[in-house]
A = this chain, B = another copy of it.
């Protein structure tokens, strides 16, 4: 049994706990809120590490900006300590030994259940025995486990901001335009589903359609007149130019 402490109570913590609880091999023995008063909690115990004797892994599951500060409280504990962030280096945990990263590449909301089996987990560890431990944990909840170094992880996190955060924002603009035009946003949902499903079988560069791709200036001009919101107009122009540049170069 791999014994785990999770620090943090946000979305990632919540979904990891749920996923681990379904395995036979991982036992979450304690959860600390990220804002705990760690000094008074285990400062005396900390000194001889007995508090953590039975623990195999401490997962720091807090926001990026406090990973380093929270990790400091655990820096003397001779157990594997990992964070779950896409954009923070493994060295934020502590210098040197027994640090790692356990980064599930997915968007988590408490309101929505996810199936961890399909979530890629990107692993990093400074020591090979720790990598083995992380692989064992990751593969008990997911079918896609990858060794990814900090530089690669930063790239994929940035790519995810485009593919996930920014796409969702475009859905939201779509829903605003529907609302203004008095059409139900529900009509767009099958299109959104198909747009995402397409890239399972086509590269996004092949899957591209629309007026910018066709260089259909007539429609582009009409759309820019039609857009009321100046911010939406600006986004439309920037994205249209970006598509035209992409295919202008490649064609």
Which residues of A are in contact with B by a Cβ distance under 8 Å?
63-65, 87, 105-109, 111-112, 114, 118-120, 122, 144, 146, 148, 151-152, 154-156, 158-175, 177-178, 180-183, 185, 187-214, 216, 218-219, 222-223, 226-227, 231-232, 234-236, 238-239, 242-243, 245-246
* A to B CB contacts below 8 Å, 30 in the list: A87-B219, A105-B191, A109-B202, A111-B202, A120-B190, A146-B187, A151-B181, A154-B181, A155-B183, A155-B226, A156-B178, A156-B187, A160-B188, A161-B211, A163-B170, A163-B188, A163-B191, A166-B235, A166-B239, A167-B170, A167-B192, A167-B196, A168-B204, A168-B208, A169-B204, A172-B204, A172-B246, A193-B196, A234-B238, A235-B242
**3 residue pairs, one from A and one from B, having the closest CB atoms:** A155-B181, A165-B210, A196-B196
Known: A87-B219, A118-B190, A120-B187. A227 touches B158 (CB 8 A): yes
Residue from B106, B162, B189, B212 in contact with A165 in the complex, judged by beta carbons closer than 8 Å: B212
- Tell me whether A175 and B159 are in contact (CB under 8 A): yes
With a cutoff of 8 Å between Cβ atoms, the chain B residues found around residue A210 in the complex are 161, 164-166
With a cutoff of 8 Å between Cβ atoms, the chain B residues found around residue A105 in the complex are 187-188, 190-191
Closest chain B CB from A60 CB (angstroms): 17
With a cutoff of 8 Å between Cβ atoms, the chain B residues found around residue A118 in the complex are 190
